[in-house]
Amino acid sequence: MTATTDGSTGAALPPRAAAASDTVLTTPEAPGAVQAAERAVRRATGHLLARQDAEGWWKGDLETNVTMDAEDLLLRQFLGIQDEATTRAAALFIRGEQREDGTWATFYGGPGELSTTIEAYVALRLAGDAPDAPHMAKAAAWVRARGGIAASRVFTRIWLALFGWWKWEDLPELPPELIYFPSWLPLNIYDFGCWARQTIVPLTIVSAKRPVRPAPFALDELHTDPALPNPPRPLAPVASWDGAFQRLDQALHVLRRIVPRRLRRAAMNTAARWIIERQENDGCWGGIQPPAVYSVIALHLLGYDLNHPVMRAGLESLDRFAVHREDGARMIEACQSPVWDTCLATIALADAGLPADHPQLVKAADWMLGEQIVRPGDWAVKRPGLPPGGWAFEFHNDNYPDIDDTAEVVLALRRVRHHDPERVDKAVARGVRWNLGMQSANGAWGAFDADNTSPFPNRLPFCDFGEVVDPPSADVTAHVVEMLAAEGLAHDPRTRRGIQWLLAEQEPEGSWFGRWGVNYLYGTGSVVPALTAAGLPGSHPALRRAVAWLESVQNDDGGWGEDLRSYQDAKEWSGRGASTPSQTAWALLALLAAGERDSRAVERGVEWLAATQREDGSWDEPYFTGTGFPWDFSINYHLYRQVFPLTALGRYLHGDPFAAAGRAEAEGG
């Protein structure tokens, strides 16, 4: 590995020929790409089958960054439920993620990040690490050099305000009366993406209550000037959007002092009912950790004691986000991905040649069928007449099924020869109908909601933590188009509108932006198979541009990789980075779909996957190739390194009969 100028590990520059990770184990080159692929598929199939749960699902760890772990400790401190064993295990994990320069990053090999470093530092102080310890002093010095606590994101300063380390009056105001805004009014809660909505509603209660639990120590070492810990922030010009929303926030601070107490109390109680109505059967909220954390705090502030059934279930659900490692460390997952992992694993195994009636595929199909959501959720605010029928990402998340999972589950179910085909047909019909009904006005699809495209939420001073709206994206739209084509709907006008949107979204050099995976490799690896499945020939100009781009960014080692920095600097980093198994697979899936099976680029990519496979059939991938919020929140899906290479190698050997069927239908129509 090389060191960058900012102290991170990874490529010093974005070279086309970035070296593969030195943690990847290599094997001698096979005598030919086909033989190498056959051997790799056998081993990978055995490895993946062995990882299936007895109930039929797969789930890999979902690794993000240490803010999850730090905030878990802060929550326990705030509620007074900390225990020595949990604190010790969490601190062990947080210390292990610290970089040489004393900072913490948000992804493997990335630069140090201010808010993440502050939260990790505070968590370690709660765990007993002394501020003058070398690793702590180094972190504090780095924080001060970059503006200290005052320069951190709003969410970090909210956590600090809970303990008196920051002043509530110096935070953006978030009034609970938002809960009364009708859905047609700008900045109503349904203008926000579902992940932001679930977080903002409980935070309106926290913001209104402004609680402070006495801190066990001061944090003077994290301020540039301890005598002025809360320096005023400059205002943007009044004629700018930022300036206008800053002044709106000032007005809300004034309003706080005059709003009738009865109205505020009623708004908080309405928000509490909204929260409780959305608690899942397992106690969590939306299947993700942050809303659960803030919901527990909000309800506690309204008088719900820790033994109340809602609170007890919520706290128990948080424990299920913990992954205990062999070294005794405890890592918190931001969410869990069993539905997503299971449908991708099913597709991979089927495309690799596993018989369609294999017992483990049938068991996976049974489990997926049982996970279909048949009651309305928040999505029905925009689509009130649409019958339910989607799938969610997590074990329990009936309020927020997503369009991406639904498309991929349908594709997975169609690959299995189930003993009850009528049941499968009915489930697929519900899923297809729901996905079609969630199409946005521009012809494309977002992840959770239709037409969630308001320009206002991202302007709020409060919303500096990442994406807070859910506009359509190329990767989700591509998966829906691919599914519709497989269902014989390639010529449906709604499918054609999605195709036209995808063609219009292609970047000039031939790639597509990846919203939920890193980045242009993910977008391109999603879109090209969808377009060919829908009937576009490999000779189509858009597909030729995509092929040319993929060939131009292939690394000298034969693989493909893309660093997360492409979200900030596409010109320098688009399609560039150390080769990874998942990103190499995405490139191969696009090239294979475009008819490049016999090209040298495909052969080299297949050989790279075969050569970097471990003896047990797995691949190693420390790099983060999943996306929550572009650049701001990155994900390492631990199963991506298994399912996508197996899918690509399987299609290299056997083709994709489902895509071929879609093309035949499109051409016949």
Structural domains for the chain: 28-60+337-453+470-668 (1.50.10.20), 63-226+249-332 (1.50.10.20)
Which runs of consecutive H residues, i.e. helices, occur in 80-133?
84-96, 114-126
Whole-number pLDDT of residue 652: 97
According to the model, what pLDDT value does residue 460 have? 79
Give CA–CA dist 258/271, Å, rounded: 20
Give dist(CA 100, CA 97) in Å, integer.
Answer: 10
| Residue 67 in tokens | 């803010």
Position 660 scores a pLDDT of 57
As a whole number of angstroms, the distance between CA 483 and CA 215 comes to 53
Q: Give me the amino acid identity at 157.
A: R
CA distances for 328 relative to 205, 590, 640, angstroms: 36, 41, 25
Angle at 394 between CA 91 and CA 89, to 5 degrees: 10
- Measured distance CA(355)–CA(44) in Å, rounded: 15
The pTM assigned to this predicted structure is 0.92
Phi, psi values for residue 626, rounded to 5°: -105, 155
Catalytic entry in 72, 341, 402, 404: 404
pLDDT value of position 16: 46
Write the CA distances from 646 to 1, 38, 236, 289, 640, integer angstroms. Answer: 27, 10, 51, 30, 10
Give the pLDDT of residue 29: 40
Half-sphere exposure of 391 (CA within 13 A, CB side): 32
The helix/strand/coil state of 429 is helix
Report the phi/psi class of residue 353: left, alpha or beta, with left for phi > 0 and alpha for psi in -120 to 50: left
pLDDT at position 434 is: 98
List of the chain residues with pLDDT < 70: 1-31, 463, 465-466, 658-669
319 is catalytic: no
pLDDT for position 11: 42
Instruction: Specify the pLDDT at position 244.
Output: 77
**Cα(351)–Cα(220) distance, integer angstroms:** 58
Question: CA-to-CA distance for 611 and 33, rounded, in angstroms?
Answer: 10
C-alpha pair distances (Å), 530 with each of 112, 130, 229, 437, 668:
37, 55, 53, 19, 17
